[in-house]
Amino acid sequence: MTNSPNNPYGNVNDATDVDTSVELEPNTVLGNRFHILKKIGEGGMGVVYVAVDKSLLLPNNKVALTADNFHANKIPSQALIALKVLNPDIKVDEQLRTDFINEVNNARRLTDRHIIRVYEPHEMNGLLFFTMELLSGHNLFTELKANPGGLSVGKTKALLQPIAKALDYAHKEGVIHRDITPKNIFLHKNIASGVETTKLLDFGIAHFLTETVVTHGTREIKAKFSTTGTDPYMSPERFAGADANLKDDVYSFAAITYQTLTGQRPFYGGEM
């Protein structure tokens, strides 16, 4: 999902036409509202961009909406968002459209500060997408890669205790994550204050998009987006074909805690 941006902006008058067969270029404007600044991530499910929500700009804004101004921290931070576009090669029917909107609306109910904020689902210019909080920093996967022996007990507690509380909050709201991995735990650093906050990403949406690619994607997209392989964070019940529940999230979180402390995945030696 989000990688490590600093801050973007662009000229509203430089908007380009949208071609859904290719990725969005900088200065593309969706629905006369979302101004694309730069791409920050992509995968089989779609592409993530830094964008400006023009409805959140002050009327007297004079800063050009460009990637250079984003990196120079000149664009008002309250107008900056991440925008994830569903891969246009995925065949969208009415059921998929309804499911997509329901999944995003389900995720946007979660308001804990340690869960990435999901804002709105949209369909504009022939594209399905949703907007969310823009983060800056790196994920736990990257942190563990830089520390192969694991982290200290104090560091592990500082990073993961907020995630445990956020997960408990989500479960009480009746929302299951279904895909907790080190790549979905993000170490967000506030550019203005320098304060680091741990965030849980992709609540439910990633799992839905994965199933969408498998069910609705073209042969070419399915080939690019492999869903095979062993997931060391998945509970034995999930491997047996059971539906996801709260306990599966707890298992995944426990596996990540073990890895964060030791640098090793539990019960994992390449095959399950």
* Residues 144 and 189 occupy one common structural domain: yes
Residues 6 or more apart from 146 whose CB is under 8 A from it? none
* Residues 112 and 152 occupy one common structural domain: no
Q: CATH no. for residue 110?
A: 3.30.200.20
113 dihedral zone (left: phi>0; alpha: psi -120 to 50; beta): alpha
Element (H, E) at 78: none
56-71 pLDDT, tens digit each: 999 999 999 999 999 9
* Residues 158 and 252 occupy one common structural domain: yes
Structure confidence at residue 18 (pLDDT): 42
Distances (CA, A) of 133 to 108, 179, 236: 11, 19, 33
Domain-ending residue, one of 109, 132, 155: 132
CB 65, CB 74: distance < 8 Å: no
Give the predicted TM-score (pTM) of the model: 0.77
Give the chain's domain count: 2
Structure confidence at residue 226 (pLDDT): 39
CB 81, CB 52: distance < 8 Å: yes
Q: What share of the chain is helix, strand, coil (3-state, %, to 5)?
A: 35, 20, 45
Element (H, E) at 248: helix 246-262
Work out the mean pLDDT of the chain and round it to a whole number: 81
Q: CATH no. for residue 177?
A: 1.10.510.10
Low-confidence ranges of the chain (pLDDT < 50): 1-21, 213-214, 216-230, 271-272
Structure confidence at residue 175 (pLDDT): 84
Beta strands in 151-258 (DSSP E): 185-189, 196-200
Helices (runs of H) and strands (runs of E) counted in the chain:
8, 9
Domain limits for position 106 = 12-132
Domain-ending residue, one of 132, 166, 192: 132
146-158 pLDDT, tens digit each: 999 999 999 999 9
* Residues 190 and 145 occupy one common structural domain: yes
Q: What is the DSSP letter of 159?
A: H
Structure confidence at residue 229 (pLDDT): 31
* Residues 56 and 152 occupy one common structural domain: no
* Residues 90 and 157 occupy one common structural domain: no
Residue 195: count of CB within 10 angstroms of its CB: 9
- Answer positive or negative: Cα dihedral of 158, 161, 163, 166: negative
* Residues 105 and 143 occupy one common structural domain: no
Q: What is the DSSP letter of 145?
A: H
* Residues 125 and 41 occupy one common structural domain: yes
188-229 pLDDT, tens digit each: 987 767 788 999 987 756 555 555 544 544 444 344 433 333
Structure confidence at residue 22 (pLDDT): 56
* Residues 118 and 142 occupy one common structural domain: no
Q: Is residue 173 part of a domain?
A: yes
Structure confidence at residue 270 (pLDDT): 52
Domain-ending residue, one of 91, 107, 132: 132
* Residues 184 and 91 occupy one common structural domain: no
Structure confidence at residue 228 (pLDDT): 32
* Residues 155 and 104 occupy one common structural domain: no
Q: Is residue 25 part of a domain?
A: yes
Structure confidence at residue 205 (pLDDT): 64
